[in-house]
Amino acid sequence: MTFRVTVLGAGSIGVFVGGKLAAAGAEVSFVGRPRVLDEIGAHGVRLTDLDGGDERIAASGFRTETEPGSAATADLVLVTVKSAQTAAAAAQLSDRVRPDTVVISLQNGIGNDAVIRAALPATVSAGMVMFNVVHRGDGHFHRGTDGGLAVADDPALARFAPLFGRAGLPLDRHPDLRPVQWAKLLLNLNNPINALSGRPLREELATRDYRRCLASAQAEALAVMRRAGIRPARLTAVPPRVMVHLLPVPDAVFGRVAGRVLAVDPMARSSMADDLAAGRTTEIDWLCGEITALGRAVGVPTPVNDRLTELIRAAENGAERRWQAPELLARLRGASSPGPVRATGH
């Protein structure tokens, strides 16, 4: 059977995952903005990865549209827009999807699946993409880190499992995805730090003071989660509570003990860095903002995550600076000095 798949949000994740499904035999429609659709229409899609994989899908191997008309006949809809666009995307789907359509939110953050579920009659499952994708232009999308797809298990997903398996993206099904979502959020607290650093992920994570920034944000988030009774899943070789002690060790030691953390494509950046570079609103409210809101609810202060939000907000509003590691660390720890300003190209 050929599955019809609509990918709502043809960007880094949407084109990578949808492209893999098309290569595995699905009939894929990408819903996106003309700039991306024109690009993949002209060049087709090329999908590479850090393990040497290199796959091409000719433009005749998928469809493109700017409105999700294909959702009316889709077996599966993947929502791959940024969190700020989830409500609008769900509204577009609401009068199109059928009750027997399965929708998977493949987005970072905690509440996107609930926003979609509230708007649709369909089965909606939460999902998480555990790898990073870099959009390199001319239809080329590159998976820059390890990782797969995690989803909240639902019997309706079972029939799609072979398709994802053939696509090389097996579904890692969890009875409850919340612990995975919270654990991924802890990792994604690096997104604002990476964006503020103006550096590729590998270079940023190889720098002790940036890792100290991340450790501070994660330690604070863990304190909030503990108070709220949330136990994040273990997604990395070391559990989250150990990670906050591992991150601040000297660079040479970190390089030896955390090899896979630094096994990142040398050019990969966080998607928040891409958003700032493109002048788009970021997902900061769905990352640090989620910690701030939970902290407020359970009575735990969250100054580090609050300051990260402030700095990203300033960057969204055009503040052009590339934060050196020691000055960012000082700022997150409460120092008020603005430090030297440098152009970033954001």
Ligand X SMILES: NC(=O)c1ccc[n+]([C@@H]2O[C@H](COP(=O)([O-])OP(=O)(O)OC[C@H]3O[C@@H](n4cnc5c(N)ncnc54)[C@H](OP(=O)(O)O)[C@@H]3O)[C@@H](O)[C@H]2O)c1
Should residue 14 be labelled a site residue for ligand X when binding is judged by CB under 6 A?
yes
Should residue 85 be labelled a site residue for ligand X when binding is judged by CB under 6 A?
yes
- Between residue 93 and residue 112, which ones bind ligand X under the rule CB under 6 A? 107-108
Should residue 81 be labelled a site residue for ligand X when binding is judged by CB under 6 A?
yes
Should residue 148 be labelled a site residue for ligand X when binding is judged by CB under 6 A?
no
Q: Give residue 277's Cα distance to chain centre.
A: 16
- Kindly give, in sequence order, each residue whose CB lies less than 8 Å from that of residue 297, ignoring residues fewer than 6 positions away: 228
- Neighbouring CB atoms inside 10 A of 61's CB total 15
Pull the structure tokens for residue 153: 């298990």
What element of type H or E holds 63? strand 63-65
Smallest separation (angstroms) from ligand X to the CB of 147: 8
The CA–CA distances, whole Å, from 180 to 127, 128, 169, 208, 209 equal 9, 8, 17, 26, 27
Query: Closer to ligand X at the Cβ: 110 or 332?
Result: 110
Should residue 324 be labelled a site residue for ligand X when binding is judged by CB under 6 A?
no
Residues 142, 48: Cα–Cα separation, whole Å: 5
Among 115, 120, 133, 261, contact with ligand X (rule: CB under 6 A): 133
Query: Closer to ligand X at the Cβ: 187 or 325?
Result: 187
Should residue 13 be labelled a site residue for ligand X when binding is judged by CB under 6 A?
yes
Residues 96, 69: Cα–Cα separation, whole Å: 7
Smallest separation (angstroms) from ligand X to the CB of 218: 17
Part in contact with ligand X (CB under 6 A); list of ranges 56-64, 129-137, 258-266, 314-322: 129-137
Query: Closer to ligand X at the Cβ: 116 or 329?
Result: 116
- Between residue 243 and residue 302, which ones bind ligand X under the rule CB under 6 A? 271, 280, 283
Alpha helices in the chain (DSSP H): 12-23, 34-43, 86-94, 112-119, 161-166, 178-188, 190-197, 201-205, 208-228, 240-246, 251-257, 271-277, 288-298, 303-316, 325-332
Should residue 6 be labelled a site residue for ligand X when binding is judged by CB under 6 A?
no
Long-range residue pairs from 317-322, CB within 8 A, at least 24 positions apart, any chain: 320/344, 320/345, 320/346, 321/196, 322/196, 322/197, 322/198, 322/199
Asked if 1 and 26 count as a contact pair (C-beta separation under 8 A), the reply is no
Part in contact with ligand X (CB under 6 A); list of ranges 51-59, 80-88, 253-261, 312-320: 80-88
The CA–CA distances, whole Å, from 135 to 46, 96, 140, 143, 322 equal 10, 29, 6, 9, 22
Among 12, 190, 216, 324, contact with ligand X (rule: CB under 6 A): 12
Smallest separation (angstroms) from ligand X to the CB of 243: 18
Q: Please count the residues of this chain forming the interface with ligand X, following the rule CB under 6 A.
A: 26
Should residue 325 be labelled a site residue for ligand X when binding is judged by CB under 6 A?
no
Smallest separation (angstroms) from ligand X to the CB of 56: 20
Residues 211, 48: Cα–Cα separation, whole Å: 28
Smallest separation (angstroms) from ligand X to the CB of 4: 18
Smallest separation (angstroms) from ligand X to the CB of 30: 9
Smallest separation (angstroms) from ligand X to the CB of 36: 5
Among 129, 187, 213, 214, contact with ligand X (rule: CB under 6 A): 129
Among 6, 83, 194, 216, contact with ligand X (rule: CB under 6 A): 83
Strand order in the sheet with 102-106: 63-65, 27-31, 4-8, 76-79, 102-106, 123-129, 149-152, 171-174
Should residue 204 be labelled a site residue for ligand X when binding is judged by CB under 6 A?
no
- Between residue 28 and residue 47, which ones bind ligand X under the rule CB under 6 A? 31-33, 36
Among 92, 181, 282, 302, contact with ligand X (rule: CB under 6 A): 92
Residues 90, 294: Cα–Cα separation, whole Å: 25
Which residues bind to ligand X, rule: CB under 6 A? 9-14, 31-33, 36, 80-83, 85, 88-89, 92, 107-108, 129, 132-133, 271, 280, 283
